[in-house]
Amino acid sequence: MSDMISKIWRTDEGKKRSFKNLKISMEKIEKEFSLLQELGSALTELSGENLTMDRAIRDSFLVHFRRIYNFLYTIDSEQKTITAADFFESADFWKTKRFKEPKIVRDFETLAGNTLQSYAYGDDASIMGTDRNSFKLAVEEIGKVFKQFIELNLAVEQPEEQGLEGREKKAGMPAKAETGTAQKEYGGEEVLYRASLNPDGVLEVQVLHSNKSVRNLIDSHQEEPDYFLTNLDKFSGHQQAARNWLAEVVEDNRSYFEENRVVFSMPDLD
């Protein structure tokens, strides 16, 4: 599942998530959900003879249940944590598509909040007296939402799952032939840049114009390609064609610039 990631950055918040961040988060949330399933099953098999152990398993279940719930049902406007909405181009897409939370899921989220925030809530005997099967049922119901999250990711563009060819497609590049690399040219009547995807997954951008100021700027930021992404507004729509077309290169290949997987080459044009 960890390759089923469609979203590279989020546009509505104006902030970006790198593919690396999302991949790590996906791996963690998958492990989180697997652990929740195991705890849900364990709670149905408790003997009730060791209340201390029962309480520990229950509290662990509630912690992990709440983490899954928050991942699926919260939108972090400050983007301090990664949620399901971060895996789509728009947070509203996930908000409108996801299943409405089932009653048992909402009830368990409330139980988790009350139990973990204050042990004065009810008493352990009454909480543990909850029908044991309800723990497993809660997992099954929130699992449907988690499955929907995965399936929606499968339904939209997945550049990383498809490997380099998928990344080429996202960058608007032609498909690779059996030999050589995919490439795309930028410029009006004259080709100013040529972007090629190397076999090792690094984007090579050839600078084919003679604009000295732009060439010097590119040369000074060879080691930090993401500079051009964070300063995109200085290039986009510029009256100088060399700057304006550089913005097109960056826009088409955002993920490469974001991850600093870009090399510039500037052949001598004299």
- CB-CB contact of 197 with 173 (8 Å): yes
Whether residue 98 is predicted with pLDDT greater than 60 in this model: the reply is: yes
pLDDT, position 239: 67
Q: Rounded distance, CA 177 to CA 182, Å?
A: 7
pLDDT, position 206: 92
pLDDT, position 130: 58
For the chain, the average pLDDT equals 75
pLDDT, position 17: 59
Q: Rounded distance, CA 147 to CA 49, Å?
A: 35
pLDDT, position 270: 59
* 12 phi-psi bin (left φ>0, alpha ψ -120 to 50, beta other): alpha
Q: Which amino acid is at 205?
A: V
Between 208 and 101, residue with greater pLDDT: 208
- CB-CB contact of 177 with 184 (8 Å): no
Kind and range of the H or E run holding 185: strand 183-187
Kind and range of the H or E run holding 186: strand 183-187
pLDDT, position 192: 92
For residue range 204-247, list pLDDT tens digits in order: 999 999 999 999 999 998 888 888 888 887 776 666 888 888 98
Average pLDDT of 113-129?
Answer: 56
Cα dihedral angle (21, 26, 31, 33), rounded to 10 degrees?
Answer: 130
pTM of the model: 0.52
pLDDT, position 18: 61
- CB-CB contact of 88 with 7 (8 Å): yes
Q: How confident is the model at residue 57 (pLDDT cuts 50, 70, 90)?
A: confident
Q: Which amino acid is at 44?
A: T
Rounded to 5°, angle at Cα 69 from 67 and 72:
110
3-state class (DSSP) for residue 211: coil
Q: How confident is the model at residue 142 (pLDDT cuts 50, 70, 90)?
A: very high
pLDDT, position 230: 83
For residue range 23-42, list pLDDT tens digits in order: 777 888 888 999 999 998 88
Q: Rounded distance, CA 255 to CA 267, Å?
A: 25
Q: How many CA atoms lie within 13 A of 162 on its CB side?
A: 13
Between 14 and 220, residue with greater pLDDT: 220
Whether residue 138 is predicted with pLDDT greater than 50 in this model: the reply is: yes
Sheet holding 191-197, edge to edge: 183-187, 191-197, 203-207, 262-265
Q: Rounded distance, CA 7 to CA 10, Å?
A: 7
Residue-by-residue DSSP string for 195-207: EEE-TTSPEEEEE
Q: How confident is the model at residue 89 (pLDDT cuts 50, 70, 90)?
A: confident
Q: How confident is the model at residue 80 (pLDDT cuts 50, 70, 90)?
A: low
Q: How far separated are the first and last CA of the chain, in Å rounded?
A: 51
Q: Rounded distance, CA 160 to CA 6, Å?
A: 8
Q: Rounded distance, CA 125 to CA 223, Å?
A: 61
Q: How confident is the model at residue 167 (pLDDT cuts 50, 70, 90)?
A: very low
